[in-house]
């Protein structure tokens, strides 16, 4: 986030990019993933209106807890955007139940406590958390935070519906030139998913 802001990226640029992706890939799922402060500075109502108009499907605000999300949820409902929340291994049952009640699209389960970033091994916390979430929700559950290789994806595939890969791709982009980054990311995705991914799926 800091690097993006330092390079001049703004929320309006992200919304514009979402619209371009929607035009090029009508069937793609698009989720804006970010922090609350840029949304508030942009204006909550303005943000949801513009995101919906751009064809965004959902929003995940990483630092917004469900207990304080009333106005946000009302605005998301008004324009038909899916609110997606983070659930952590340390989340009490009451919070998981509240997240399940208001979430749409999917629920993002954090594989471990702490900050995001690549890790060497998956913890048992992730499987236990997914099991707890499924007590209250039938939504797909995606597991993220630290997933960086094919072994992690295979492990997550045993108990969750999706694996979220963030920091590993950001690091790869950082090491690449702007011209080479798209091909480098595509090659990484092909490698990490292996037989789970075919060329037709990647093209979409």
Taking the alpha carbons of 178, 180, 184, 187 in that order, is the dihedral positive or negative? positive
Which residues of the chain fall below pLDDT 50? 115-120, 198-200, 202
10 Å CB burial of residue 81 (0-12, 13-18, 19+) is buried
Q: Structure tokens of 189?
A: 């995705």
Q: Are residues 106 and 64 in the same domain?
A: no
Residues 75 and 129 in one domain: no
Q: What is the CATH classification number for the domain harbouring 159?
A: 3.20.20.70
Given this model, what pLDDT does residue 200 score? 46
Tokens standing for residue 146 = 């630290």
Domain termination site, one of 66, 82, 98: 82
Per residue in 141-197, pLDDT (tens digit) is 999 988 888 898 989 999 999 999 988 999 999 899 989 999 999 999 988 877 655
Q: What's the pLDDT at 122?
A: 53
**Tokens 């007590």 belong to residue:** 135
Is there a single domain that holds both residue 72 and residue 43?
Answer: yes
Task: Tell me which residue range forms the domain holding 133.
Answer: 85-204
For 63-76, the DSSP string reads: T--GGG-HHHHHHH
Residues 106 and 161 in one domain: yes
pLDDT at res. 194 = 72
Domain co-membership, 128 together with 90: yes
**Same-domain status, 31 and 89:** no
CB 129 within 8 A of CB 110: yes
Assess contact for 31 and 64: CB atoms under 8 A: no
Q: pTM of the predicted model, to two decimals?
A: 0.85
């Amino acid at each position: 986030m800091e690097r993006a802001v330092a390079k001049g990226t703004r929320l309006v640029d992200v919304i514009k990019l979402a619209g371009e992706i929607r035009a090029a890939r009508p069937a793609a799922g698009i989720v804006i993933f970010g922090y609350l402060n840029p949304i508030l500075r942009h204006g909550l109502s303005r943000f949801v209106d513009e995101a919906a108009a751009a064809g965004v499907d959902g929003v995940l605000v990483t630092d917004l807890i469900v207990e304080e999300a009333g106005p946000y949820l009302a605005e998301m409902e008004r324009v038909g955007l899916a609110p997606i929340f983070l659930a952590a291994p340390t989340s009490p049952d009451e919070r998981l139940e509240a997240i399940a009640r208001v979430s749409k699209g999917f629920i993002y389960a954090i594989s471990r406590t702490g900050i995001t970033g690549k890790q060497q091994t998956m913890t048992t916390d992730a499987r236990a958390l997914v099991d707890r979430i499924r007590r209250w929700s039938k939504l797909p559950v995606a597991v993220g935070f630290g997933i960086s290789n094919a072994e992690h994806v295979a492990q997550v595939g045993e108990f969750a519906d999706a694996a979220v890969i963030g920091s590993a791709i950001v690091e790869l982009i950082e090491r690449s030139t702007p011209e080479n980054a798209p091909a480098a990311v595509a090659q990484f995705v092909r490698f990490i998913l292996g037989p789970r991914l075919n060329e037709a799926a990647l093209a979409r």
